[in-house]
Structures are given as C-alpha cells and as structure tokens.
Chains A and B, each alone.
Chain A
C-alpha cells in the first residue's frame, strides 16, 4: 500500500486572496446541504433549549399542578428507573403526552424536541441528496431517520 500523504496544504497566503480565487473558493465552500442542515440544527436546538428552560421554571414554581412535586422528588430520585415507575405510576413511552397538562410532564416537551432536531435536519438532507441523485447518501440518511424514529417510537421496550 502506498504511504503517500493525502493531507495537502495549499500555498495560499491570505483569506482575502482565497476569496478572489473562484477555484479555491469552491474547495473551501460549504456545500448547500451542509449549510442548510447546520441552520436547522442552530434554530431548532435553541428553540428546544428555550422551551426547556421556560417549562422548567414553571415546574420549579409549582405551577400547572405537577403530579410529583419538585419538593417530593428526593423521595424518588434515588430509586432505579424500574422502581420509580412502579412507585409513582409514571407513564412510559409516549404516554406522558396525555399528562402534559401537568408541569412535570410539560418539562419533557423541550427535551423531546431536542431529540427530534437531528431528524428534522436529516429530512432536509434526504431531500437534498435525492435532488442530487446521490444514492449512497440517500439510503444512509433514510436508514438513519428510520433508526432514530424507531428509537423514539418506543418499539424497543425493556421489560
């Protein structure tokens, strides 16, 4: 096997010079699909964090009738998840959505949103790669969406 190095450093002196060179600019330019994916991640992740912060303040303030009050949590947070579910009768899977009017479950909205940000970005990538007819990446992106959606759907259940 050849041991020829593949990391090249172009002798381009300054960034401004790079900007003037169309061929070089093409090299360092971010692809449109990568740019779009990054923008989706940026906007959606901050939206998720803001929602998470607001709902948490509501919960800590004791508003919206939490099923387990924050002040009672020390009784439960030392239990294993299986014991916690048995003692508090907490819903598992997506059943928490039916309790979203209680502030402890309202908290999960922001967290769940953070969990779908990557999927939203991948949907945009899927469309972009499909347009470019980049088949290997269309397939990989589609399978990744399926993997995350399956994990999110709750079909993988631990007894």
Chain B
C-alpha cells in the first residue's frame, strides 16, 4: 500500500514540477495556476519531510527556487515563515511531553536568533547568484551529511561543563518503548553556542529552518538523547526563525501569495505524512530526500554559476 502511495506521490511530484517548469516558459498560463501548483508541491514536500523527519523548509527553498518563477528573495522570506509555522504547530506537544527542554532552548535560541538577524542582512544584501551558489553548496553538503550522519539514541557524555551546571540544564522524560524514565544532561555547551551562532546565520541567510544542523549538534556534540535533540530543535526554530522572518517582513520580502499557500500546503502535508509514518519505510524515504536534496542543491549551484 505504501509503495503504491509512494509511486503515485513521486509521479504526481514529477508531473507537477514538469508542468510548472513548462508553464514558467509561457505567458498564457493563468495566474492562479502558480499558487495552486505551489500548494500541491508544498503539500507533497510536507508529506516527504514528515516521513523523513526533516524540516519542510530545507526542501522548500531549493525545490521552489528551482521550479517556480518567484524571485529568490521572496522564496527565502516564505521559507522562514514555513519553518516558523511548522515549528509553532509542533513545539507545544513536544514541550508538554518534556521531549524539549526550555532550559536548553533559551540559551541556544538567544545566540541563534541574534545571529539569524545577521544572516537575514547578508541574505538580502548579497547578489542572488552568490546566494544560489552558496545554497547549492550548502544543500549538497546537507545531503551528504544525511548520507553519512549516524545519530545516537542515547549518547554517552562526560562531565557536564560549568555552564551546564550553572544553568541547571537537564531533565527526564518517559520512554514508552522501554517503559522507563530517561534522565539526561548535556556537555560542551560553550562549543555548542559557537556552532549555533553559525547555524543562525545560515538559517537567516537562506530562509531554511535549521533542524538539519540543530539535531546533529544537539545529539552528537552536546550529547542530548535523540528525542530531546529533535524536540529541542523543533522548539528552537520558533524563536530562531522569528527574528529573521521579521527582517524579511519589514523589508517587504514576504509576498502572501507565495507564503500563505506554502505554509498551508506544508502544514497539511506534514500532518498526512505523520499519519503515514505507521506504514512507511523510513530508510527508503530517507534515500528519496537525499536524492531530492542532491538534485535541488546541484541545480541551485548550476543556476548560480549561470549554467542552469
């Protein structure tokens, strides 16, 4: 059943993008086709993103900039709102289940949201060809990261550093699969804060949510259990992306006709994706996402170099 769905989804996705690419070259296309195509495309992105456990905007920005006629400025502005809306709808449940820790979110969010303002400035100031080249390199790098990264469910950590002890970061959550409580803490917080400043800049610059970077840093560097890393990352995005989203909104780089169908499409798609998770094969979905990212990353790189 799931294979059938996947085949249909892939077919629909390819057909949509083909139609969109063809339509981009003709001026006779009715204007409403574009928001509708965007809604369908983002709905499919939402399904795939939820099945693969990645944020929607990391797929949204490269794919929409590859296949839609919208300017890159508006796509990045929309990407931030997509990430923000997804985060705001997922974070409350994670926080209430103690799968995200505010004591960990607050210091990291402060660094990341401040640096995302710098990123937004860079994004709105740099030439688009440079941005597309950088985005291409970044997205290709993320696909390679997905190929080789191995997160650890319960990483072993050393003695928590002085800053972690001072801020009393740590907690417990109930793990239903084992029927046990997991008590956790972290270490290497100062190094994590430095990395989060870089993550914030990238998020603001390219309008992509930063879950792809947050989770490995929280899990592999800081030593948070995987579930806490995912929950904390999702809660962080609501704050990190807010600052950058305001810069884009104030600069006029948010067009509702692009942003609103994208937000609605991805949110609806991710809800369907979560329901399909029961029958999904995460590995095959992961490969599809890696291929999509590789394709979108290389296309962005070629566009930026003027070879697209």
Contact = CB atoms under 8 A, between A and B. Distances in A.
Nearest to A57: B260
Interface residues of B, number: 87
A136 B98 contact: no
Contacts of A9: 154, 175, 178, 180-183
A11 B180 contact: yes
Interface of B is mostly: helix
A41 B252 contact: no
B73 A80 contact: yes
Given A7-B182, A9-B154, A77-B69, A115 B89 contact: no
Give the dominant DSSP class at A's interface.
helix
Given A45-B88, A45-B89, A148-B113, A73 B257 contact: yes
Interface string B238-261: 110011111101111111111111
Nearest to A10: B181
A59 B256 contact: yes
Contacts of B11: none
Contacts of B128: 80
Contacts of A31: 102
B223 A158 contact: no
In the complex, which range does the number of interface residues on chain A fall in? 35 or more
B113 to A, nearest CB: 6
Given A80-B72, A117-B88, 10 more contacts: A1-B158, A10-B183, A13-B179, A41-B238, A42-B93, A49-B267, A77-B34, A110-B260, A117-B238, A151-B250
A91 to B, nearest CB: 8
A111 B257 CA distance: 12
Contacts of A125: 102, 106
Nearest to A85: B252
Interface stretch (B48-56, B159-167, B279-287, B297-305): B159-167
